[in-house]
Amino acid sequence: MADMQKKVYFISDAHLRPYEDNSATESRLLAVFDEVKVNASHLYIVGDLFDFWFEYRFAIPAAYLKVLAALLDLTRSGVKVFYIPGNHDFWMKDYIQREAGVILTGDLYEVSHYGRKILITHGDGLRRDDVGYRFLKKLFRNRACIWLYSQLPVNLAYRLAVRSSKASRYYTTNRKKIDPTDYVAFARDKVAEGYDAVVMGHVHLPQIEDFGHGLYVNCGEFFENYNYVVLDESGFKMLYSRQ
């Protein structure tokens, strides 16, 4: 099957955790990767596959190794895998590309498949009232901040990160507080600029909204309902892992 006839997969927000049992999420994720290996030419990870990521020179959480090995298997089989950073894994650098063949992109990534111009972004920082988060995002990506964090002992750094991630995840997954209006509005604006679809994650709400001349596509999450998105010649489809 030629690449141009193969499917394109999008998945986000698995939130694999460095110090907890990921077996339920991991088994479903690996099953989806098996699908990808057979059926797809491209896989786009739309942020927060990992609940926390910081690149120490000699330390990677053991809890992530099976998934990293599966990603390496995908890229060796010829699948092109791209990683768009989220708000839990924006400290990712070159390890995943060097060791697993995954291409790390910027926050906004433009692609074209099946004649569609697609913009992919995790979506963090798009809420109009999220001024505090946008400030923290700039602060945490500051080189001095990254260097200071890198001086912490590995176990301490990860345990601090786990506490922070739990608080962030609770806030994001509290559906009563989620209003996708700003995310849909961002997508609508990008469609008006000429995109055929905008694919996001972050809010953990699976959604495909058709504006008539373009789409807002949100991958949902992959730790509770196990949503993911597939694009083929018939369009975008929201799927659910039922393993």
pLDDT tens sequence across 102-113: 999 999 999 999
The partner residues of 50 in beta bridges, in order of sequence, read: 16
Please choose, from the candidates 95, 115, 114, 113, the residue with its C-alpha nearest in 3D space to the C-alpha of residue 103. 95
- We report the CATH number of the domain holding residue 92 as 3.60.21.10
What pLDDT sits at residue 239?
98
| pLDDT single digits (tens) 216-243 | 999 999 999 999 999 999 999 999 997 6
Give the Cα separation of 172 and 50 in Å (integer).
Answer: 15
Please choose, from the candidates 15, 174, 198, 205, the residue with its C-alpha nearest in 3D space to the C-alpha of residue 120. 198
Domain count, the chain: 1
Structure tokens at 8: 């394109």
Give the Cα separation of 128 and 210 in Å (integer).
Answer: 22
40's CB contacts (< 8 A; 6+ apart) are 6, 7, 8, 9, 79
Query: Which ranges of the chain would DSSP assign to H, the alpha helix?
Result: 23-39, 65-76, 95-100, 131-140, 143-150, 154-173, 181-192
Structure tokens at 166: 């739990």
Half-sphere exposure of 131 (CA within 13 A, CB side): 1
Give the Cα separation of 38 and 123 in Å (integer).
Answer: 29
User: How far lies 210's CA from each of 108, 219, 242, in Å?
Assistant: 21, 15, 26
What pLDDT sits at residue 87?
84
What pLDDT sits at residue 88?
76
Residue with tokens 């995954």: 102
pTM here is 0.85
Give the Cα separation of 82 and 128 in Å (integer).
Answer: 28
The boundaries of the domain holding residue 208 are 3-240
In this prediction, the residues of the chain whose per-residue pLDDT falls under 70 are 1-4, 54-59, 90, 128-177, 243
What pLDDT sits at residue 16?
93
Structure tokens at 91: 């400290």
Structure tokens at 224: 């509770």
What pLDDT sits at residue 2?
47
